Structure 1
Amino acid sequence: MKLSRIIIVSILFVHIGCNTETKNEKQEVIQEIVKEQPQKEIKTKAFKYWTWFTVNDSLSTEDYKREFQKYKENGIDAILINTEANAKKLSVVTPIAKQAGLEVHAWMFTMNRPNDSIALQHPEWYSVSREGKSCYDTRPYIDYYQWLCPTRKESRNHVLSLVENLAQVEGVTSVHLDYIRYPDIFLPIGLLPKYNLVQDEELPEFDFCYCDVCLNTFEKQHHKNPKDFKNPAIDMEWKQFRLNQVKKVVDDAYAIAHKYDKILTAAVFPYPEMSDHMVRQRWDKWTVDMVLPMVYHNFYNEETDWIGYVTQQGVKDLKGKPVELHTGIYLPPMSPEEVSIAIQLAKDNGASGVSFFDGHAITDEQFKAIKASKSNIRN
C-alpha cells in the first residue's frame, strides 16, 4: 500500500509538470493522500524521580503501604529496594510498591557482600590487599566492607546467581548493582577526616585485589607479576586488568537481566574518569541500561553547582551510547531550596532523572520541594 501511494504521488508530480492547467486539482489529490499516511507519535520521556529504600523486617504490610504511598504522593516515580539480595523478601514488597504506583528496581550490594552467609563459608572468595590481607577478616575503612574477588570464578558465579534470583521476581523493572567496583583506593576528600587519613598516593592497605587467582591470571596474560612492581599504581596493564574484571561481572549481569526481560541499572561514582581513579570503576565502558552516579557533593567539599558539572561530564562520556544517566543526590545536609536547585541542575545538564538517598531520610520540607519541582522544573 505504501509503495502504490508513492508511485501515485510520483506520477502526479510528473503530470503536474506537464499540465499546469490541472495543477490545483492534482495538489488537492496529493494532500488527501498525505493526510492518509499514519503520523508518527513523538514521545518524550518524563524526567524520572527515584529513591533508594531498605526493607526492615519490623515493618508491617500497612507500614510499607503508607511509606510507598507517601513517596508517590510527593513525586517519586521509582524505588530501588534493598532486601540484601533476598528474592523472597523482594517478591513480597514489590507488589505493595507497585500498587502504590511506583516502578520497582531490585537494589543489591554486588562485590561488597557484608554478612553474606554463603560467601562467608568460602574465605578464599574474598578480595586481598597489596599487604596480603583478606577482606574476609581484615576490612578496609569500616566493618561492613567485605569485598569479593571479581576474577575468581566461584565468587563471580555467586554474585551472578543473586542477580538471576532477583531478575526472576515478577514486577521488577531492573536489577540495580551497587558496590560494583573494588574497595576505595581513595576516599572522597570530605570523608578523610572521619578516618583520620591522608591519601596522597595508593596505599597498600587499600589497594585490591592481590589474591592468587588475580595474580596468576594477570601473569598469564602479561608475563609479569604485580607483586614485583616497585610502584603498581603506574602499571597501566595491571590497572586495566582490574577494570576489565569488574566490566565482565557487569556484562554477564546484563545478559542475565535481559534474559528475564529486565534491564540493568547501576549506582556508580560521580563520572567515569573519577570512578576509574578512586575505585577501579570505568562505567562508561560497561554494557548497562542506566547509571545513577552518586553525585554527593558534600562528600567532596563541593558546592551545589558541582552537581551540574558532574552530570554534564557523565552525559558527555556516554554520548552515542544507549545508556541513560540519572543523577544521584545525597539529601541529608540539603535545604529544600538546595534540593530544588540540584534537581534543576541535573535536568539542565542532560540527566534523564534524579535519585534521592535515601527514602527514609527525606524530610517533609524536602518532599515538598521535590513535589513542587515536578511542576516547576524547566524543560
Structure 2
Amino acid sequence: MRLPKLLLFILALSIISCASKKEDEKTPFEFGVWITAHKERTNADYAQEFAKYKNAGIDEVLINTGTDPKLLKRLVPIAKENGLRVHAWIMAMNRPGDSIALQHPDWYAVSKEGKSCFDNRPYVDYYQWLCPTRKESRNHVLGLVEELAKVDGIESVHLDYIRFPDIFLPIGLLPKYNLVQDEELPQYDFCYCDECIKAFEKIHHKNPKESHNTSIDMEWKNFRLNAIKAVVDDAYKIVHKYHKNLTAAVFPYPEMADHMVRQRWDKWDIDEVYPMIYHGFYNEEVDWVGYATKQGVSDLLRKKTKINTGVYLPAFKSPEELKEAILLAKENGAKGVCFYDGPAITPEQLRTIKETKESLK
C-alpha cells in the first residue's frame, strides 16, 4: 500500500522533530559568568576564583580584559586548568577611554542635537560611543575583534555594547537619572554625524535632519539597525576565519532591543546571544525571565543562533527566586544561563547555583 505524499511528509517531520528533541535532551544546560579582569591580580588569585566557579557548576567565563590580548592569553590556560571555557568579552561600539579612538574626535557618534560622544556623553561619563558607519571607527573595532580572535583556546569573541546609545532606558533606571522618556529625545538619539547623513542620503535621497518625525521614519531607523548588523556580520567572518565563534550580550528579545537601542539581533550572523534579561531593571517579576527568553527563542526559530539567558544577581531577593529564574530560562528554550557578574555572587547564591545545576543532571 502506498502512503499519500502528505502523510509521508508529516511522518518525516515527526521523525525529525523526535530526533531533535532527543538531541536537546542530551545537551547539558550550561552556566556562565561575566567577569572583568585586572592585570595586577596574580595567577593564584584567578586560579582560586575560577575554581570557585567550577565548584558551583559554572561551565564558562566571559572575560573583559579591556581588549588586552596579552592578559587574555595569560588567563585562558588558568581557566582551562580549572575546567572552564573562556569567551573574550569586548566593549564594541562603546569604547570608554580608548587611547587610539580618542586621537580621532570625528570617529564618535553624534546626537540629533549635534553633540558628539567625544566630549558630550549621554547618561554617564563612560558612554563614549563610536560611529558604526564611518569606515575608520568600524575598522578600529573590527581590528580589536581580530586581535582577540587570534588568541588560542577561546570559545568566542563576545561582543557587548554592540548597538547605539539607549534611546530609551529601562524603566526601572529612569528615576536614577531623574528622567521621563515618553518619546524619543534628541540628546539620546544617535547617530547624526556627517558620515551617517551622507550614507543615508546616498540610499534614500533625503536628509533625516529634515524629517518631520524621525521616530516614525522607518528608513532612517533601518539604516541604523543595518549599520550595527554590518559590523556584526563582518566580525562574524573575521572570528570564523580563526575558527572561533561570535557571541554577544544583547538587550532582551529583538523587538525590545530594536525599540530601545537600535539592535535587531535576530537578523545578525552570529552563533549565540546572551540577552540581558535583568527583570529588576524593567520593574518586572521573576517570571518575566521566562517570557523574554521565550520571545527571543521564538524570533530565532529559523536561525541556528542559540540563546543563553543573562540574569542580574543583585535583583534576586531570595535563593528561591534565583532558582526559579534558572529553571524558567531552561523551560523556555535557552541553551544556558549567564550570571552578572562574578564578584557579585554571594556564597548563598553559589550554593543555589550548584544545587540547581545538580538537579538538572
With the length of structure 1 as denominator, give the TM-score of the two structures: 0.88
2:310 partner letter: G
Question: Match for 2:348 among 365, 370, 374?
Answer: 365
- Tell me if 1:48 matches 2:30: yes
Report the 3-state secondary structure (helix = DSSP H, G, I; strand = E; otherwise coil) of the residue aligned with 1:50: strand
Whole-Å Cα distance in 2 between the matches of residues 362 and 231 of structure 1?
A: 45
Whole-Å Cα distance in 1 between the matches of residues 291 and 108 of structure 2?
A: 36
Show the 5 A alignment for 1:225-264.
225-264=207-246
Q: Unaligned stretches of 5+ in structure 1? A: 1-39
Match of 1:177 in 2: 159
Match of 2:199 in 1: 217
Structure 1, residues 274-306: CA drift from partner, whole Å, max 9, x if none?
000000000000000000000000000000000
- Tell me if 1:130 matches 2:112: yes
- Tell me if 1:203 matches 2:185: yes
Report the 3-state secondary structure (helix = DSSP H, G, I; strand = E; otherwise coil) of the residue aligned with 2:26: coil
Give the deviation of 1:57 after TM superposition: 2.8
2:274 partner letter: L
Q: Give the 3 Å change call, closer, same or farther, for CA 250–365 of structure 1 in structure 2.
A: same
Match of 1:25 in 2: none
Structure 1, residues 151-204: CA drift from partner, whole Å, max 9, x if none?
000000000000000000011110000000000000000000000000000000
Give the conservation status (yes or no) of the 8 Å contact 1:190–1:300: yes
Report the 3-state secondary structure (helix = DSSP H, G, I; strand = E; otherwise coil) of the residue aligned with 2:155: strand
Whole-Å Cα distance in 2 between the matches of residues 44 and 211 of structure 1?
A: 50
- The structure whose Rg is larger is 1
The aligned length equals 339
Match of 1:63 in 2: 45
Give the conservation status (yes or no) of the 8 Å contact 2:85–2:155: yes
Report the 3-state secondary structure (helix = DSSP H, G, I; strand = E; otherwise coil) of the residue aligned with 1:182: coil
Whole-Å Cα distance in 1 between the matches of residues 93 and 37 of structure 2?
A: 20
Question: Match for 1:294 among 276, 279, 297?
Answer: 276
Give the conservation status (yes or no) of the 8 Å contact 1:329–1:354: yes
Whole-Å Cα distance in 1 between the matches of residues 24 and 291 of structure 2?
A: 29
Match of 2:295 in 1: 313
Question: Match for 1:356 among 334, 339, 342?
Answer: 339
Q: Give the 3 Å change call, closer, same or farther, for CA 217–333 of structure 1 in structure 2.
A: same
1:340 partner letter: K
Match of 1:168 in 2: 150
Whole-Å Cα distance in 2 between the matches of residues 333 and 342 of structure 1?
A: 11
Give the conservation status (yes or no) of the 8 Å contact 1:74–1:371: yes
Give the conservation status (yes or no) of the 8 Å contact 2:279–2:315: no
- Tell me if 1:343 matches 2:326: yes
Whole-Å Cα distance in 2 between the matches of residues 300 and 42 of structure 1?
A: 31
Question: Match for 1:88 among 57, 60, 70?
Answer: 70
Give the deviation of 1:41 after TM superposition: 9.3
With the length of structure 2 as denominator, give the TM-score of the two structures: 0.92
Whole-Å Cα distance in 2 between the matches of residues 47 and 41 of structure 1?
A: 12
1:372 partner letter: E
Match of 1:105 in 2: 87
Structure 1, residues 76-112: CA drift from partner, whole Å, max 9, x if none?
0000000111111111111111111100000000000
2:194 partner letter: D
Match of 2:310 in 1: 328
Where in structure 1 do 4 or more consecutive aligned residues deviate above 4 Å? 40-43
Show the 5 A alignment for 1:3-18.
none
Whole-Å Cα distance in 1 between the matches of residues 251 and 360 of structure 2?
A: 25
Report the 3-state secondary structure (helix = DSSP H, G, I; strand = E; otherwise coil) of the residue aligned with 1:347: helix
Structure 1, residues 120-174: CA drift from partner, whole Å, max 9, x if none?
0000000000000000000000000000000000000000000000000011110
Whole-Å Cα distance in 2 between the matches of residues 89 and 59 of structure 1?
A: 11
Give the conservation status (yes or no) of the 8 Å contact 1:126–1:146: yes
Cα RMSD, aligned residues only = 1.3
Match of 1:17 in 2: none
Q: Unaligned stretches of 5+ in structure 2? A: 1-21
Whole-Å Cα distance in 2 between the matches of residues 44 and 281 of structure 1?
A: 32
Match of 1:194 in 2: 176
Give the conservation status (yes or no) of the 8 Å contact 1:344–1:377: no
Structure 1, residues 239-271: CA drift from partner, whole Å, max 9, x if none?
000000000000000001100000000000000
1:369 partner letter: T
Q: Give the 3 Å change call, closer, same or farther, for CA 201–43 of structure 1 in structure 2.
A: closer
Report the 3-state secondary structure (helix = DSSP H, G, I; strand = E; otherwise coil) of the residue aligned with 1:172: coil
1:316 partner letter: S
Give the conservation status (yes or no) of the 8 Å contact 2:39–2:71: no
1:333 partner letter: A
Structure 1, residues 199-250: CA drift from partner, whole Å, max 9, x if none?
0000000000000000000001000001101211110000000000000000
Match of 1:31 in 2: none
Give the conservation status (yes or no) of the 8 Å contact 2:29–2:360: no
